[in-house]
Amino acid sequence: MILATGCTSTVGGTPAAIGQSPAEQRTAVPDGQILLQEPGSEGPFEFGGTPAYDACLVLSMADVTEAGFTLDLGQAPQPQLVNWHQIADGRHDPAQQSSTSNSGQSTCNLPGPGGNLLGLTIHQSPFDHPDGREATERIFSRNNTVDKEILSEETIAGIRVVTTEADLGGWLVGFFGDDYYATLLADVEETGVAGRSPEQVRDALVTSVARGLAEGPTPPARYSYAEPYSWVQPPCTLFPAEDYQQSFDMPDIGRVEERYSMSEVMTTPSAQGGTQDHEPSTFVRTSCRRQNEQVANSVVGDSDVPPEDMVVEFSHYRELRGAEQDNSYDCDGDRKYDHPHGPPIKLKNVVGDGYVCFVRYGEHNPGFTFKVGRTVVEITSWNPSTYKDTQSMSAVLEQTSKDIAGRLAER
């Protein structure tokens, strides 16, 4: 079985976001938000010769808040911004073009309270399937065979914009430019807006996205944290392209998935998990996912190139004690801890300054985890062949884990 794409917390407690003290709040962001987003200074970067959009700048956190959408900054499970975007130039191999792939060149997901969600996907050639635009145009056509009501069709900033009702609630909006197209899922209920109706929030978001698309590709977004987490580095800085190349002897495609906690999270002790003797701890979590085009374009089984995908997840704690407790729960093997898929596989590897182990995830690939200072790291590889023997695991994980640990130790 392959690794699930989501990142799983292994802390034996109940995550619940907490707010900031007045001294930590910033007037430019909502109370409780400590993730900061700004336009980058390098790029835009290309894939296959095409400058790529960054969906999370077209649908920026600031624009979303201004439109009246409420970000989820305080509910469990931990809310995260998810951004697929091009942060380096990438080459396109036509042989890696799937007959089914249409996942988008860049995507941005922003959760709201009560299940509200904003999701923007921007499609650009040559990343997506050549017939993808035609199929999407049919969905947003009045001649579509699917029973989908067209609520409006208009031109905003020179872009054709079509609004329909989404299948599971909210709205699905299509944007069609000359050399790109995009879809916005806006699942907006009364509980997730501030001083406006859901329809008003939707319309403000649609206008903002259309104008952002009309401006053209820009350098990718940069992320940082307010105090007390200003020391946290972006996950794809801690896990650079050189590490992927080192692990798999091939380059990634420059298009990464970055995940960021938008608010601080608290883990409370839990008798069920065996952590009742732990102290409450607070942290933010980030991750970086890198892959080759064979995985990105869903060509698994159709190519001689092996599918290689790696996720590195970082849990950055406010205090050292929190990281020590997390690492202890994951790896020390004490029988008082309840591990849903069995006890950890303890390792003698010397990485970081704490326990080192594999965390079991049942039928999914295990997570290789270690601690450096206030940060707990977990590395997972998509390809089951990574774990077929000790030599394979060492080739993929050993040097990369040591390099990541070194970067964390230098901060």
Residue 148 has a pLDDT of 72
Cα torsion through 331, 335, 339, 345, rounded to 10: 40
- Going by C-beta distance under 8 Å and a sequence separation of 6 or more, which residues neighbour residue 344? 330, 331, 333, 357, 358, 359, 360
Neighbours of 30 (CB within 10 A): 15
The three-state secondary structure class of 397 is helix
- Write the single-letter amino acid at 378: E
**Is 7 within 8 Å of 311 (Cβ atoms)?**
yes
Residue 18 has a pLDDT of 36
The three-state secondary structure class of 260 is strand
| Max Cα–Cα distance, the chain, nearest Å | 63
C-alpha distances out from residue 180 to 165, 271, 337, Å: 22, 52, 51
Residue 285 has a pLDDT of 95
Q: Where are the beta strands (DSSP E) in 104-254?
A: 106-111, 117-123, 150-156, 159-165, 171-176, 181-187, 222-225
Residue 115 has a pLDDT of 82
Cα(73)–Cα(6) distance, rounded to whole angstroms?
A: 19
**Is 324 within 8 Å of 273 (Cβ atoms)?**
no
Tokens 């085009």 label which residue? 293
The three-state secondary structure class of 203 is helix
Upper half-sphere CA count for residue 180 (Cβ side, 13 Å): 25
Cα(18)–Cα(263) distance, rounded to whole angstroms?
A: 7
**Is 377 within 8 Å of 407 (Cβ atoms)?**
no
Cα(376)–Cα(323) distance, rounded to whole angstroms?
A: 6
Residue 202 has a pLDDT of 95
Tell me the chain's radius of gyration from C-alpha atoms. 22
Closest CA to 255 of 303, 294, 213, 223: 294
Euclidean distance between the first and the last CA atom of the chain, given in angstroms as a whole number: 36
pLDDT tens string, the chain, 411 residues long: the values are 222 223 333 444 433 333 333 223 223 467 889 999 999 999 999 999 999 999 999 999 999 999 999 999 975 546 899 999 999 999 988 878 776 767 899 999 999 988 889 999 999 999 888 788 888 888 888 776 566 788 999 999 999 999 999 887 889 999 999 999 999 999 998 766 777 899 999 999 999 999 999 999 999 999 999 999 999 999 999 999 999 999 999 999 999 999 999 999 988 888 888 888 899 999 999 999 999 988 888 876 677 888 899 999 999 999 999 999 999 999 998 888 888 899 999 998 889 999 999 999 988 899 999 999 999 999 999 899 999 888 899 999 999 999 999 999 997
Residue 1 has a pLDDT of 24
Residue 82 has a pLDDT of 97
Tokens 């403000």 label which residue? 204
